[in-house]
Chains A and B, each alone.
Chain A
Amino acid sequence: MSDHKPIVYKNCEDVPAVVMSEASMLWNKTGAWRYIKPKYCDKVPPCNQGCPAGNDVENFVRLAEEKKYKEAWLSIKEENPFPRVCGRVCYYPCETACNRGQFDRAVSINALERFIGDYVSTDTKIERLQNDSGKKVAVVGSGPAGLTTAYHLARLGHGVHVYEADEKPGGVLRYGIPEYRLPKKVLDEEIQDIINLGVTIDCNKKVGETIQWEALLDFDAVFVATGAHKSRNVGIENEEAQGVMPGLGFLKKVAQGKKVHLGPRTVVVGGGNTAIDAARTAMRLGSQVTIHYYRSRNEIPAFKEEVDEAQKEGVHFDMLSEPVRVLVDGDKATGIEMRRTRLGDPDESGRRRPVSVEGSEYSVDATTIIIAIGEDTDLEYLPSEIQEERGRVIVDAFGATSRPGVFAGGDMAIANHNVAYAIGSGKAAAIAIDAYLKGSHVSDIVAQTTIGEYGAMSMSHYIEAGRAHAKNRYTKSVVSYNDINLNYFEEQERSKQTKLELSERHQNFKEVHQGLSEDQIQNDAQRCFHCGVCTMCDTCYIYCPDIAIEHKGDAAWGYDINFDYCKGCGICVHECPRNAMMMEDE
């Protein structure tokens, strides 16, 4: 007798004498009782939305947890050519966004990224995704933005020619960020992956000088990302004296291996990343270093961890002080006159404005004075029809400038000056350029490619590269901390990176952060909530009172809900530890 058909006894004779079952209850389609229904629906983890480079963080963390480091690496490389760079220099806004941070501490996403990048051997090749399109794109500048655009365009099948003013590619990654934070070898190896895709990097070619803008018009599209390299002047007396130098220029010289003579006492003016890097570099060169900053420690814009390291390494901080003039002996600087400031009312950035305290001047001896109060863009070489505002090229979300076919990104176009944003902007432009070259409109795909509500663009969304189990990631809904079912998680210590001993940081540029061990990586990968992404933890399956949830199959990922029987109780959705399900109306 069929399990799925009710049994009907037509006459008295047919009715059995014994109350004994003849079939299962499967004929009884209890799905009819339901008025709302569950649905598997992966959502956006906040880390993914928080990563300006658009890494699929949750995915690589999971793959790492499964010890699939190569797959994890490929997952990052899908979005970002620089996991090893980012794993070292990124300020990890993903971790700030990480839901786990509200529970105990964020997952060590950044260190995981570094581990994955370092773990996978350099001979693993990145594949092109599409065949040669016959189109050619010019990229100006080989900083993270330019190289990212080049990388993605090459993968998408386009010919890419990068023009770089300097003798080697990398931009700030090479000439700004010091060796002890980002070894050149690491950078070179990641750039090699890009070159391997067929990208030409044409160094010592400065647009506007070595070659002219017009030469670029032969290309089907142009992407410009020449960064912000013009160091600002303070505008004080004797600033041009010998022994006074700009921060970025100093760092570049050191990076180029040029000898820089600092003398015993270095003063650094400024509180940004350049200032801190310059101070720590000067310290490594054997000089005594003091940083002068005109607000207090709370307002310092440099990355906090860097400031802490600088202090530990012996850099002095003289806060609430502003330069008045350089003290000279002839044309040689001998020191600097400073003046006290105090904090006044907040300015438009919300930080309290420094106010000079008249009559509080004092002088500081110095053999070298490094001015690191910011860098500006140099947009001279651009044709006038490309609109600018406050020193930045005006672009849309995909980097399109006011001139069709010309795109811009990185520090010269966006407000957030950091590597991950530069990478994100480069990728967005690559998507836009690809669409432009194919004659389609990015406005049609902006919703599809944006990660979450306001995250970076996702290349994998763009190319719909198969992440078989996370297909429907196009949802905009970002998982908040309250969406996590905390009952399924217990507090667990976050893995901590070991750092180079302080005593070993003098007179050398050895890398300070040493990364995490595999055990530590495993620990932290396991701490991940996997916000909004099904892990096949079986919670929904096991709690279903109606046995209406079934595994898709031995090899396949995920579950099927048997709506013939699901009564719509909602337990699966409510219990899902990570909000990878939802209820919807019938």
Chain B
Amino acid sequence: MKKVLMGNHAASWAVKLADVKMIAAYPITPQTQIVEELSEMCGSGELKAKFLKVESEHSAMASCIAASSAGVRAFTATSANGLALMHELLHWASGARLPLVMVNVNRAMAPGWNIWADQSDSLSQRDTGWLQLYVEDNQEVLDTVLQAYYIAEKVNLPVMVCYDAFFLSHTYEAVDIPEKQAVQDWLPPHARENILNTKDPRAFNGLVMPDVYMEMRYKLQQAHEEAVAVVKEAGESFAKAFDRSYSTIETVYCDDAETVLVTSSSTTSPARLVVEALREKGMKIGLMKVRLFRPFPVDDICQVLSGKKKVVVIDRNISFGKGGIFADEIRGAIANDPQAPIIFGYITGLGGRDITPELVEDIVMEAEKNERPERLALWKGLKS
């Protein structure tokens, strides 16, 4: 069934299809429609779930953690300040190895107040142990939320699905909504061990002494490493069931490319146009969209980028004092490769400023012109 949906509603539809049993959320622009739509669905009974209208994102995450600990599929959605407020609890969710799914609509951090697209909010939660997927369009929103449950419940780790404010959240696109039955056939039922159970009473998340803490962290890292394959497997099996395939990264024209443009989220869309146009002009350029940010699919990325001349990364985010976070991650990933390319890291589009095809082309051409980047963090689109 095709429907014209805004990105936020696509997320809500996925939650319904995944038969989520507990939702706790707190409104924040630009996430509100997810919550509103889910309220409607719960209200009408088409989604049989408990919806806790909690008093903060912090409590939203706390109650999702609790509900998940008690063995049900749980969901929340937030953005920017809301996500930041959850910070401590993000660690709890992953440390407790809970298969939670959260949508984060990427929005700039205050101050000053800015409700527009910017990935700095979720990227600053990079080290909380959550899986992070950055998606490009509304279809991918729906498909990825479904896959997020598939992945989370396989690796016992929480998954954050991130997409850009307004460019996706509030933009209507045609979305193919899978049949409920087909989703049920594909997504295994939520059956978990190690949950709060009065018949087998256990204590969870208690005090851990130094003699085993490190081993437990090692296992968490292991789970992340294994998750890369699970993300791919999820994409493949999803493709079999629904005819749309996904992976950790997506590449366009990369095989023979000398320069590879790297993007994520909605920035990928203008980049596609630019790459297409430059190819037509004969430039050996390719495009790599990074969909999975945590765990970082190092092997997949290095395989594409090794031996290339230049890699141009566009970051709609910043780690102050260093630069674009995707660029930095790629640098780190490929550093030991003897055929590592030169990496140009561009920061642009912060706080919702448009990333137009012209801007993308500007960036590519500037990188093409220069042998090496003048500095780690290159800025594009600043007022002159």
B216 interface residue (CB < 8 Å to A): yes
Residue numbers in A under 8 Å from B382 (CB-CB)? none
Is the Cβ of A19 less than 8 Å from the Cβ of B206? yes
Is the Cβ of A12 less than 8 Å from the Cβ of B194? no
Residue numbers in A under 8 Å from B139 (CB-CB)? none
A17 interface residue (CB < 8 Å to B): yes
Is the Cβ of B206 less than 8 Å from the Cβ of A15? no
As a 0/1 sequence over residues 5 to 28 of chain A, the CB contacts with chain B under 8 angstroms (1 = contact) are 000010010011111111000000
Is the Cβ of B96 less than 8 Å from the Cβ of A12? no
Smallest CB–CB gap between A291 and chain B, Å? Answer: 80
Interface hit among B120-128, B129-137, B217-225, B273-281:
B217-225
Is the Cβ of A20 less than 8 Å from the Cβ of B204? yes
Q: Which of chain B's residues has its CB closest to A17's CB?
A: B219
Is the Cβ of B215 less than 8 Å from the Cβ of A15? yes
Smallest CB–CB gap between A559 and chain B, Å? Answer: 27
B208 interface residue (CB < 8 Å to A): yes
Residue numbers in B under 8 Å from A22 (CB-CB)? 202
Cα A491 to Cα B280 with chains together (Å): 104
Cα A457 to Cα B215 with chains together (Å): 71
B191 interface residue (CB < 8 Å to A): no
Smallest CB–CB gap between B216 and chain A, Å? Answer: 6
Smallest CB–CB gap between A19 and chain B, Å? Answer: 5
Among B97, B211, B215, which residue has its beta carbon within 8 angstroms of that of A18?
A: B97
Query: Do A12 and B215 contact each other (CB < 8 Å), given the known contacts A17-B156, A17-B220?
Result: yes
Smallest CB–CB gap between B305 and chain A, Å? Answer: 32
Residue numbers in A under 8 Å from B218 (CB-CB)? 12
Residue numbers in A under 8 Å from B215 (CB-CB)? 9, 12, 15
Q: Which of chain B's residues has its CB closest to A20's CB?
A: B202
Residue numbers in B under 8 Å from A21 (CB-CB)? 202-204, 206
Is the Cβ of A18 less than 8 Å from the Cβ of B203? no
The size bracket of the interface on B is: 10 to 19
B95 interface residue (CB < 8 Å to A): yes
Query: Do A19 and B156 contact each other (CB < 8 Å), given the known contacts A9-B215, A12-B215, A12-B218?
Result: no
For window 66-97 of chain B, which residues contact chain A by CB distance below 8 Å? 95-97
For window 368-393 of chain A, which residues contact chain B by CB distance below 8 Å? none
Smallest CB–CB gap between B192 and chain A, Å? Answer: 11
Is the Cβ of A19 less than 8 Å from the Cβ of B96? yes
Residue numbers in A under 8 Å from B216 (CB-CB)? 15-17, 19
Query: Do A15 and B96 contact each other (CB < 8 Å), given the known contacts A20-B203, A20-B204?
Result: no
Cα A12 to Cα B218 with chains together (Å): 9
Among B95, B202, B212, B223, which residue has its beta carbon within 8 angstroms of that of A9?
A: B212
Residue numbers in A under 8 Å from B212 (CB-CB)? 9, 15
Residue numbers in A under 8 Å from B181 (CB-CB)? none
Residue numbers in A under 8 Å from B203 (CB-CB)? 20-21
B198 interface residue (CB < 8 Å to A): no
Cα A18 to Cα B223 with chains together (Å): 12
Total residues of chain A contacting the partner, CB 8 A = 10
As a 0/1 sequence over residues 172 to 184 of chain B, the CB contacts with chain A under 8 angstroms (1 = contact) are 0000000000000
Smallest CB–CB gap between A327 and chain B, Å? Answer: 98
Is the Cβ of B219 less than 8 Å from the Cβ of A19? no
Residue numbers in B under 8 Å from A12 (CB-CB)? 215, 218
Cα A575 to Cα B219 with chains together (Å): 50
B44 interface residue (CB < 8 Å to A): no
B336 interface residue (CB < 8 Å to A): no
Residue numbers in B under 8 Å from A20 (CB-CB)? 194, 202-204
Query: Do A18 and B194 contact each other (CB < 8 Å), given the known contacts A9-B212, A9-B215, A12-B218?
Result: yes
Residue numbers in A under 8 Å from B96 (CB-CB)? 18-19
Is the Cβ of B205 less than 8 Å from the Cβ of A19? yes
Cα A443 to Cα B96 with chains together (Å): 73
Q: Which of chain A's residues has its CB closest to B215's CB?
A: A15
Is the Cβ of A19 less than 8 Å from the Cβ of B204? yes
Smallest CB–CB gap between B226 and chain A, Å? Answer: 11
Smallest CB–CB gap between A6 and chain B, Å? Answer: 11
Residue numbers in A under 8 Å from B211 (CB-CB)? 9
Smallest CB–CB gap between A569 and chain B, Å? Answer: 22
Residue numbers in B under 8 Å from A17 (CB-CB)? 97, 156, 216, 219-220, 223
Cα A18 to Cα B212 with chains together (Å): 11
Residue numbers in B under 8 Å from A19 (CB-CB)? 95-96, 204-206, 208, 216
Q: Which of chain B's residues has its CB closest to A7's CB?
A: B212
- Interface-centre pick from A9, A16, A20, A21 (highest chain B CB count, 10 A): A20
- Interface-centre pick from A12, A16, A17, A22 (highest chain B CB count, 10 A): A17
Residue numbers in B under 8 Å from A18 (CB-CB)? 96-97, 156, 194, 204
Q: Which of chain A's residues has its CB closest to B195's CB?
A: A20
Smallest CB–CB gap between A525 and chain B, Å? Answer: 44
Residue numbers in A under 8 Å from B206 (CB-CB)? 19, 21
Smallest CB–CB gap between B65 and chain A, Å? Answer: 13
Residue numbers in A under 8 Å from B219 (CB-CB)? 15, 17
For window 1-59 of chain A, which residues contact chain B by CB distance below 8 Å? 9, 12, 15-22
- Interface-centre pick from A19, A20, A21 (highest chain B CB count, 10 A): A19
Q: Which of chain A's residues has its CB closest to B204's CB?
A: A20
Smallest CB–CB gap between A247 and chain B, Å? Answer: 81
Smallest CB–CB gap between A22 and chain B, Å? Answer: 8
Smallest CB–CB gap between A17 and chain B, Å? Answer: 4
Smallest CB–CB gap between B153 and chain A, Å? Answer: 14
- Interface-centre pick from B204, B206, B211, B212 (highest chain A CB count, 10 A): B212
Cα A22 to Cα B200 with chains together (Å): 10
Smallest CB–CB gap between A293 and chain B, Å? Answer: 80
Smallest CB–CB gap between A332 and chain B, Å? Answer: 100
Q: Which of chain B's residues has its CB closest to A13's CB?
A: B215
Cα A16 to Cα B212 with chains together (Å): 9
Cα A9 to Cα B206 with chains together (Å): 17
Residue numbers in B under 8 Å from A16 (CB-CB)? 216
Cα A17 to Cα B96 with chains together (Å): 9
Residue numbers in A under 8 Å from B220 (CB-CB)? 17
Smallest CB–CB gap between B72 and chain A, Å? Answer: 17
For window 406-423 of chain A, which residues contact chain B by CB distance below 8 Å? none
Cα A9 to Cα B212 with chains together (Å): 8
Residue numbers in B under 8 Å from A15 (CB-CB)? 212, 215-216, 219
Cα A20 to Cα B202 with chains together (Å): 6
For window 485-538 of chain A, which residues contact chain B by CB distance below 8 Å? none
Q: Which of chain A's residues has its CB closest to B97's CB?
A: A18
Q: Which of chain B's residues has its CB closest to A8's CB?
A: B211
Cα A139 to Cα B335 with chains together (Å): 115
As a 0/1 sequence over residues 299 to 317 of chain B, the CB contacts with chain A under 8 angstroms (1 = contact) are 0000000000000000000
Q: Which of chain A's residues has its CB closest to B203's CB?
A: A21
Cα A20 to Cα B193 with chains together (Å): 11
Cα A16 to Cα B97 with chains together (Å): 11
Residue numbers in A under 8 Å from B205 (CB-CB)? 19
Cα A17 to Cα B215 with chains together (Å): 8
Cα A63 to Cα B1 with chains together (Å): 84
For window 227-257 of chain B, which residues contact chain A by CB distance below 8 Å? none
Cα A16 to Cα B204 with chains together (Å): 12
Q: Which of chain A's residues has its CB closest to B212's CB?
A: A15
Residue numbers in A under 8 Å from B202 (CB-CB)? 20-22
Q: Which of chain A's residues has its CB closest to B208's CB?
A: A19
Cα A22 to Cα B194 with chains together (Å): 11
The 9 closest A-B pairs by CB, nearest first: A15-B215, A21-B203, A17-B219, A21-B202, A20-B202, A12-B215, A15-B212, A19-B205, A18-B97
Chain A contact residues, CB within 8 Å of chain B: 9, 12, 15-22
A sample of 7 inter-chain contacts (CB < 8 A) reads: A17-B156, A17-B220, A18-B96, A18-B204, A19-B204, A19-B205, A21-B204
**5 additional contacts, CB 8 Å, given A18-B194, A19-B206, A22-B202?**
A9-B211, A9-B212, A18-B97, A19-B204, A21-B206
